Amino acid sequence: MRSPTSTDQASSTNDCAKRSWRDIIAPYARPDTKRAVIQLLNTGLPFLVLVAALLYGVGRYSWAALPLAVPAATLLVRLFMFQHDCGHGSFFKSRRANDLLGRTLGVLTLTPYAFWRGSHAIHHATSGNLDRRGVGDITTLTVREYLSLPAARRLLYRLYRHPLVLFGIGPAYLFIIRHRIPTGNPLRHPQRWASILGTDAVIAVVMLLLLLTAGPRSLLLGYVPMILLASSTGVWLFYIQHQFENTYWEAQADWDFRAAALQGSSFYDLPRFLHWLTGYIGFHHIHHLSSKVPNYHLRACFEQNAALWQAKRVTLLHSFTCPRLVLWNEEKRALVSFRDAKSWRPNPPVLSFLSIAGDEAVPTVSVLLRLRTAQLSSAPRTG
Mean predicted confidence (pLDDT) in 279-304: 96
C-alpha 364/C-alpha 137 separation (Å) is 50
Q: What pLDDT shows up at residue 346?
A: 64
| Spatial contact of 140 and 133, defined as CB atoms under 8 Å apart | yes
pLDDT band at 271 (very low <50, low <70, confident <90, very high): very high
Mean predicted confidence (pLDDT) in 83-91: 97
Q: In this predicted model, which residue has the larger pLDDT, 219 or 185?
A: 219
Mean predicted confidence (pLDDT) in 3-9: 40
Mean predicted confidence (pLDDT) in 65-88: 96
pLDDT band at 184 (very low <50, low <70, confident <90, very high): confident
Q: How far is CA 95 from CA 99, 117, 171, 285, 302, in A?
A: 6, 13, 29, 24, 26
Q: What pLDDT shows up at residue 312?
A: 93
Task: Give the bridge partners for 182, in sequence order.
Answer: none
Reported as a single tens digit per residue, the pLDDT across 43-76 is 999 999 999 999 999 888 878 888 999 999 999 9
108 contact partners, CB below 8 Å, separation of at least 6? 76, 79
CB-count burial class (<10 Å; 0-12, 13-18, 19+) for 86: buried
**Model confidence, pTM:** 0.84
* Among the ranges given (58-67, 156-165, 329-338), the one the predictor scored with the smallest mean pLDDT: 58-67
**Cα dihedral sign for 260, 265, 266, 271?**
negative
Q: What pLDDT shows up at residue 290?
A: 93
CB-count burial class (<10 Å; 0-12, 13-18, 19+) for 288: buried
pLDDT band at 189 (very low <50, low <70, confident <90, very high): confident
Whose CA is closest to 324, among 339, 334, 312?
Answer: 339
Q: What pLDDT shows up at residue 171?
A: 96
Q: How many CB atoms lie within 10 A of CB 261?
A: 23
Percent of the chain at pLDDT > 70 equals 85
Say if residue 367's pLDDT is above 50: no
Side-chain-facing half-sphere of 114: CA atoms under 13 Å: 17
Reported as a single tens digit per residue, the pLDDT across 273-289 is 999 999 999 999 999 99
What is the 3-state composition of the chain as percent helix, strand, coil, each rounded to the nearest 5? Answer: 65, 5, 25
Reported as a single tens digit per residue, the pLDDT across 336-366 is 999 988 876 665 544 433 333 333 333 333 3
Q: How far is CA 256 from CA 74, 126, 263, 274, in A?
A: 34, 10, 10, 31
* Among the ranges given (208-217, 241-250, 347-356), the one the predictor scored with the smallest mean pLDDT: 347-356
Say if residue 376's pLDDT is above 60: no
Q: Pairing mode, if any, of strands 327-329 and 334-336?
A: antiparallel
179 contact partners, CB below 8 Å, separation of at least 6? 110, 111, 112, 115, 116, 196, 199
Say if residue 235's pLDDT is above 50: yes
Say if residue 11's pLDDT is above 60: no
pLDDT band at 368 (very low <50, low <70, confident <90, very high): very low
**Cα dihedral sign for 132, 315, 226, 48?**
positive
| Spatial contact of 91 and 101, defined as CB atoms under 8 Å apart | yes
Whole-number mean pLDDT of the chain? 85
Q: What pLDDT shows up at residue 135?
A: 83
C-alpha 23/C-alpha 253 separation (Å) is 27
Q: What pLDDT shows up at residue 377?
A: 41
**Coil, strand or helix: which one is 271?**
coil
